[in-house]
Amino acid sequence: MKTYITVYFGTLLLAMILVPIVSRLAKRFRLVDNPGPRKLHTAIIPRIGGIAFVLPSLALVIPVFFLDNRIGQSFREGRTEFIVLLMAASFIFAVGFIDDLYSIPGRVKLLCIMGASLAICASGATLKSFSVGNWFEVETYWAAWPLTVFWITMVTVCMNFIDGLDGLAAGIAAMVCGIIGLLAFLFDYGAMLVLMLALLGGVTGFLFFNFHPAKIFMGDCGSMFLGFMIGASSIICQAKTSTLVGLGLPFIVLGVPIFDMGFAVIRRYILERRSVFSPDRNHLHHRLLDRGLSQRNVVTVVYAITAISTSIGLFMLTAEGSQTLGFLAGGFLLSFAMYVCARGRGPCVVLKAIRRNWSLAKEVRAVRRNFDDAELRMRNASSLHAWWETVCDMGKQMHFQSIGLWNRREGRYVSSCIWNSPEGNLMTSKTANLTLPLLRNETVEWEIRANIEVNGYLELSGRQAMLLARLMDEFPPPEREEETEALANVPTLHDETKIEE
C-alpha cells in the first residue's frame, strides 16, 4: 500500500512543481499556442504541458521495477511487456513533442502510432481472446494483431481529438486511468495498478493548471502519450484477465471521445469528402459552445456523460454471463444516446447524407467510365470525322443537351458542327452553359460550346465539364484545314447531329 500511495502522491506533487517551470521555459523559447480562428483562447498559452506529467510518471514507475516486494516482482514477471510499453510510449511522446514544435502531417503521426502499436503486439500483449464469465470464450487467432493495433491507435487518436477545451482531455484521461486501475486492483495486478496510479497522479496535478481558464496546454505530446498509454495498458490488462470487462469498461468510459472521432471521420471523409486529418470546429465541444454554453459548462456536461456511462459499466464487474453483455450494450447505447442529444444532430441526417453521397459516387464512376472510353477512341481517331463522332458519343452518354464546335474565321466564330441530345432539344432552366476556348499556336481557333443538364447535383455537372475540358486539352481538333473543310461535306454522323458551314 505504501508503494501505491508514494507513486500517486509523488507524481501529483512533481507534476504541480513542474508545470510552472515548464510554463516559463515554454514562454521563454516561444513554445506557445497563439490565438487563431480555430482557437478558443485569446492569450498566448504554453503548449508543451505534457512534459509536466510524463516525466513524473516515468520517474516514479521505473524505480518500482527494482523494488524487492510483490509489486516489483509483478513488474519483473512482465518486464518485456512493460519495458516495450514505456519505450513505445516515450517514442509517441517524442513524436507529439516534435509535432508541437514543427507540425508533423497527420498521416505521419498515424503511421508512428501504428508502428508503436506493433511493438506492443511483438512484446506479447495482444487481444488473443476474450470471455464472458463462464458463458463463452472467443478466440481472435490471426486477427489478434490487427485488432490490437486498431484499438491502441483508436484510443490514441480519440484522446488527441478530444483535447480541444481546457481540462477536457485531462479529466477524461483521469477517469479512464482510475477505471483501469480499479480493474488491476480487482484482478490483483499490482504492476498495472502502479502504472495507472502514476498516470492518474500526474494528470490530476496537471489538471489544477489546465482547468478553465487554462494556464498551460498538454499539447500533442501529452494527449498522444496519454492515449497510447491508456490503449496499450488496457490491452495488457485484458491479456492478463482474458475477460470482456478488460476492454468493455474502458470502451464505455471512452464513449464520448470514440463517438466524437467516429463522427469526425464519417463527416470529413464520407459526407464532406475531404481528408480525415483536416482540422475543423465541428467536434462535440464546439457544438455545445455554439449553443451558448461556457467552456466550464461544456466540460462539466462531457464529464457528466462519461460518469453516467461509467456507472452503468461498473455493473459489469459483478455481472455474470449474459448480464455482462447486457450492461456493456446498455452502457454503450446510453453513451451514444447522450452523445447524440448533446451534439444536436440526429443520425438520420447523417444517413441521408451518406445515401446522397453514395448515389453521387455511383454516377461519378459511370461518368468516369464514359470518359475513359472516349479517351481510348480519341487515341485511335485518324480524322476530324472520327474525332467529332467521339465527342458526340461522349455527350450522349453523359446526358449533355448539346455540343457545338465553332471555328474562328475572319475575326468571328462560325458554327461548324452541332450535336443535340435525342432526349429533347428544348433547353430547360436546369442547364449549365460551358464555353471552352481551344488554343493552337497560342491563338484561339476553335471553341467548344456545350449545354450540360443539371439533374440534382451541380458537382456532377461540374465534373462532366471538367472531363470534357480534359478531353479537349489532350485531343484538340486536327490541325489540317482540309479536314475541317471535308467535315462540312460529311453526311450526318447521328440522327441528332447537324453540320453547318
Max mean pLDDT among 84-93, 272-281, 304-313 falls in 84-93
CA-CA-CA-CA torsion sign (10, 13, 17, 22): positive
User: Domain for residue 136, yes or no?
Assistant: yes
Q: What is the pLDDT of residue 294?
A: 87
| Overall number of domains in the chain | 2
Instruction: List the single range of 98-107, 216-225, 419-428 with lowest mean pLDDT.
Output: 419-428
Average pLDDT of span 424-445: 70
Would you state the pLDDT for residue 456? 67
- 451 three-class SS: strand
- The answer as to whether 288 is a domain residue is no
**Last residue in a domain, options 173, 208, 243:** 243
Residue 332 falls inside a structural domain: no
Could you tell me the CA-to-CA distances from 317 to 178, 185, 239 in Å, in that order?
14, 12, 17
Per the domain annotation, does 193 fall within a domain? Answer: yes
Task: Name the band, by pLDDT with cuts 50, 70 and 90, for residue 488.
Answer: very low
Helix (H, G, I), strand (E, B) or coil at 136: strand
**pLDDT tens for each residue of 405-430:** 888 777 777 877 888 887 654 455 57
CB 153 within 8 A of CB 116: no
Structure confidence by residue, pLDDT tens digits, 120-161 = 999 988 888 776 656 667 788 888 999 999 999 999 999 988
In terms of DSSP bridges, do strands 443-453 and 497-499 run parallel, antiparallel, or are they unpaired?
A: unpaired
3-state secondary structure of 380: helix
State mean pLDDT over 356-364.
81
**One domain for residues 374 and 235:** no
Q: What is the DSSP secondary-structure string of 271-334?
A: IS-S-TTS--S-SHHHHHHHTT--HHHHHHHHHHHHHHHHHHHGGGGT--THHHHHHHHHHHHH
Considering the entire predicted model, what is its pTM? 0.78
Q: Which of 218, 243, 268 is the last residue of a domain?
A: 243
State which amino acid sits at residue 196. Answer: M
Question: Using H for helix, E for strand and C for coil, what is the string for 75-108?
Answer: HHHCHHHHHHHHHHHHHHHHHHHHHHHHCCCHHH
User: In terms of domains, do 39 and 163 share one?
Assistant: yes
Find the CATH number of the domain harbouring 475. Answer: 3.30.450
The answer on 235 and 359 residing in a single domain is no
CA–CA distance, 121 with 123 (Å, rounded to integer): 5
The parent domain of residue 107 ranges over 2-243
pLDDT surpasses 70 at 440: no
Please calculate the CA angle 418-419-422 and round it to the nearest 5 degrees: 145
What is the average pLDDT value for the chain, to the nearest integer? Answer: 83
For residue 426, being part of any structural domain is answered with: yes
CA distance readout (Å), 93 to 85, 214, 216, 229, 286: 12, 21, 17, 10, 26
pLDDT at 233 exceeding the cut of 70: yes
**Helices 219-241/245-253 angle, 10° precision:** 150
Classify residue 350: in a domain, yes or no: no
What are the tens digits of pLDDT across the range 77-101? 888 899 999 999 999 999 999 999 9
37 cis-preceded (ω within 30 degrees of 0)? no
Structural domain contains residue 237: yes
Q: Are 304 and 114 in contact (CB under 8 A)?
A: no
Tally of CB atoms within 10 A around 128: 18
Shared-domain flag, residues 192 and 68: yes
Report in angstroms the alpha-carbon separations of 258 from 111, 238, 307, 388. Answer: 19, 19, 15, 55
Q: Which of 229, 184, 179 is nearest to 53 (CA)?
A: 229
Q: Which residues contact 333 (CB under 8 A, 6 or more apart)?
A: none
Final residue belonging to a domain, choices 214, 243, 272: 243
Residues 206, 70 share a domain: yes
Same domain (yes/no): 232, 369: no
Looking at residue 40, its pLDDT comes to: 66
Whether 311 is covered by a domain: the verdict is no
Contacts of 397 (CB under 8 A, 6+ apart): 370, 373
